[in-house]
Amino acid sequence: FNGARRLKELILSSNKITFLHNKTFSAIPNLRNLDLSYNQMQSLQPGHFHGLRKLQSLHLRSNGLKQIHIRTFLECRSLEFLDLGYNRLRSLTRTTFLGLFKLRELHLEHNQFSRINFYIFPRLTNLQTLYLQWNHIRSISQGVPWTWQKLQKLDLSGNEIQTLDPAVFQCMPNLETLNLESNKLSSVPVEAVAAWTSLTSISLAGNAWDC
């Protein structure tokens, strides 16, 4: 991409891309939107997005991704939208999203997570919307307590959650929309309900309530 320094949008979806060389996009530092969805990349490396400090939107949906190495997004400090949905991710670490201080919307739906500990997300201080629907999540928990001030929407529908950890919601004081449809819930702890002080919409359909 040498010579295309003014490029702001690059669509590379549905190209059967299996591998990216390090610094592939370093010659287009003004890029704002990069779409790599519907390709065949199984892993992401730290050098893949080198130089993309102005990137605001990154689409990686439906790639068959299994692994994201540490500091992969470190230089994407302007990123506001990240779509990692419809992949094969099983786990995340505290360094997976290192550097994404401006991220507002994160898609992780339709992956293969079996549990989510929200302690892995503390660096996403500006996140407003998190999609985790249709994974295989059986439990959600909160490790080290911290306050997720700006999170407003959380979608956990279509999972296998049986119990709710009140500590999770106590760390989300401004949550407005919560979707827990189609899980395996039979009851909700009183402490969890007490933490839903800002909720304006909640969906609990399709569970096995013990009434």
Q: Where are the domains of the chain?
A: 1-96+108-112, 118-210
Domain 1-96+108-112 identical in fold to domain 118-210: yes
Q: Give the homologous superfamily in CATH for domain 1-96+108-112.
A: Ribonuclease Inhibitor (3.80.10.10)
Rounded to 5°, the CA angle 115-121-125 comes to 150
Q: What is the pTM of this model?
A: 0.96
**What is the length of the chain?**
211
pLDDT single digits (tens) 137-161: 999 998 777 889 999 999 999 999 9
Q: To which residue do tokens 């790599």 refer?
A: 36
Question: Rounded to an integer, what distance in angstroms lies between the CA atom of residue 122 and that of residue 100?
Answer: 11
Residue type present at position 110? H
pLDDT single digits (tens) 53-70: 999 999 999 999 999 999
The single-letter DSSP state of residue 15 is S
Q: Give the homologous superfamily in CATH for domain 118-210.
A: Ribonuclease Inhibitor (3.80.10.10)
